[in-house]
C-alpha cells in the first residue's frame, strides 16, 4: 500500500499516522507538503492527518482545504482513489467539498481528549473491512470541534445509503444521547463519500495500533485498507 500523508502548517499527527500505516503495510508513507500540486506516482491512499492546520483560523480546516495539494486530492478522489481524513483531516475534507456537512463546536463547548467507543456500522467497505458489522472498538478522540452536522436532506441520504460507518456508542454498542460525546447528528463519528472511497472520522484509530498504547482496536481499519488494496490489485 503506497500511502501519501498530507502535511499542512499546524498539523501534528502526521507521524503517528505514518507509523500506523507502516505497521499495517510494511511500507513507508510519503509526506506531501501542502504546496505540492501533484501526488506521488502510484499513490494508493491519501491520508489527511489530525492537528490544527493554520491554527484553526477562520474555521477548522477551512484554509488547508484551499491549499494547492487539495486540487490533486480532489482529482485523485474523482478517479476513485482512497482518501482518509482523521480529526482535523475530517474537517479539511468537509471544507474541501469531498465530504458533505461540517464539524461544529462540541455541544458542551469543551475540548475532549479521552477514549471513546465506536460502533462499526458495516464491514463491507474499504475502511471497515478489518472489523465485523456492529463490532465495538475503543479509540481516542482529541477535538474541540467534532460535532458533525449537515442539512436534513443530507443526513437522510447518509443514513439511507449506509454511509455512516462509525458511531459513538457505549462499551456495549448502544447509541444514544448519553454516549454522543460531542453532540453530533445521529452520533456520527465517521462517514464516507457517495462513491465510498473518501472517509472522514473524528476519532484517532492510528493511536490504538500498538500494545504499548494500551489497545490495538485501531489496527483493523489499517489492516482492512491493506486487504482491500491487495484484493483490488
Partner 1 sequence: MKARVTVTLKNGILDPQGKAIEGALKSLGVNGIASVRQGKVFDIELAGADKAKAEEALKAAADKLLANTVIENYRVEVL
Least distance to partner 1, CB of residue 102, Å: 5
Whichever of 146 and 205 has its CB closer to partner 1, that residue is 146
Looking at residue 5, what DSSP letter applies? Answer: E
Residue tagged active-site, from 87, 95, 169, 228: 87
Residue 204 bears catalytic tag: yes
Residue for grid cell 459513538: 168
Residues making contact with partner 1 (CB under 8 A): 58-59, 62-63, 66, 95, 100-102, 104-109, 149-151, 183
Q: How far apart are CA 145 and CA 147, in angstroms?
A: 6
Catalytic one among 117, 143, 204, 208? Answer: 204
Supply the minimum distance, in Å, between the C-beta of residue 203 and partner 1. Answer: 21
Does 87 qualify as catalytic in the annotation? yes
When the beta carbons of 28 and 151 are compared against partner 1, the nearer one is: 151
Local structure of residue 208 (DSSP, 8 states): S
> Which ranges of the chain does DSSP label H, i.e. alpha helix?
14-25, 68-78, 88-95, 152-160, 219-232
Nearest CB to partner 1, comparing residues 144 and 173: 144
Least distance CB 184 / partner 1 (angstroms): 11
Tell me how far apart the alpha carbons of residues 150 and 122 are, in angstroms, rounded to a whole number: 21
Is 169 annotated in the active site?
A: no
**Closer residue to partner 1, CB minimum distance, 123 or 193:** 193
> How many Cα atoms sit within 13 Å of 72 on the Cβ side?
20
C-alpha cell recorded at residue 193: 463519500
**In whole angstroms, how close is the CB of 109 to partner 1 at the nearest point?**
5
At residue 230, φ and ψ (nearest 5 deg) are: -65, -40
Report, as residue numbers or ranges, the catalytic residues: 87, 204, 206
Amino acid at each position: 500500500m503506497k500511502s501519501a500523508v498530507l502535511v499542512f502548517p499546524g498539523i501534528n499527527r502526521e507521524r503517528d499516522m505514518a507509523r500506523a500505516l507502516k505497521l499495517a503495510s510494511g511500507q513507508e508513507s510519503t509526506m506531501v507538503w501542502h504546496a505540492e500540486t501533484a501526488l506521488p506516482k502510484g499513490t494508493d491512499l491519501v491520508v489527511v492527518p489530525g492537528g490544527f492546520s493554520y491554527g484553526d483560523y477562520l474555521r477548522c480546516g477551512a484554509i488547508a482545504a484551499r491549499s494547492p495539494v487539495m486540487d490533486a486530492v480532489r482529482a485523485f478522489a474523482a478517479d476513485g482513489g482512497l482518501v482518509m481524513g482523521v480529526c482535523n483531516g475530517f474537517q479539511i475534507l468537509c471544507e474541501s467539498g469531498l465530504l458533505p456537512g461540517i464539524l461544529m463546536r462540541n455541544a458542551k463547548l469543551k475540548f475532549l481528549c479521552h477514549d471513546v467507543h465506536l460502533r462499526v456500522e458495516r464491514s463491507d467497505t474499504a475502511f471497515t473491512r478489518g472489523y465485523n458489522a456492529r463490532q465495538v472498538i475503543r479509540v481516542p478522540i482529541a477535538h474541540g470541534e467534532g460535532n458533525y452536522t449537515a442539512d436534513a436532506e443530507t443526513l437522510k441520504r447518509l443514513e439511507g445509503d449506509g454511509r455512516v460507518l462509525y458511531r459513538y456508542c457505549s462499551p456495549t454498542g448502544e447509541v444514544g444521547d448519553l454516549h454522543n460525546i460531542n453532540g453530533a447528528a445521529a452520533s456520527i463519528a465517521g462517514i464516507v463519500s457517495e462513491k465510498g472511497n473518501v472517509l472522514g472520522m473524528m476519532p484517532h484509530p492510528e493511536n490504538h495500533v500498538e500494545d504499548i498504547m494500551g489497545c490495538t482496536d485501531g489496527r483493523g481499519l489499517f489492516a482492512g485498507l491493506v486487504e482491500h488494496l491487495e484484493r483490488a490489485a
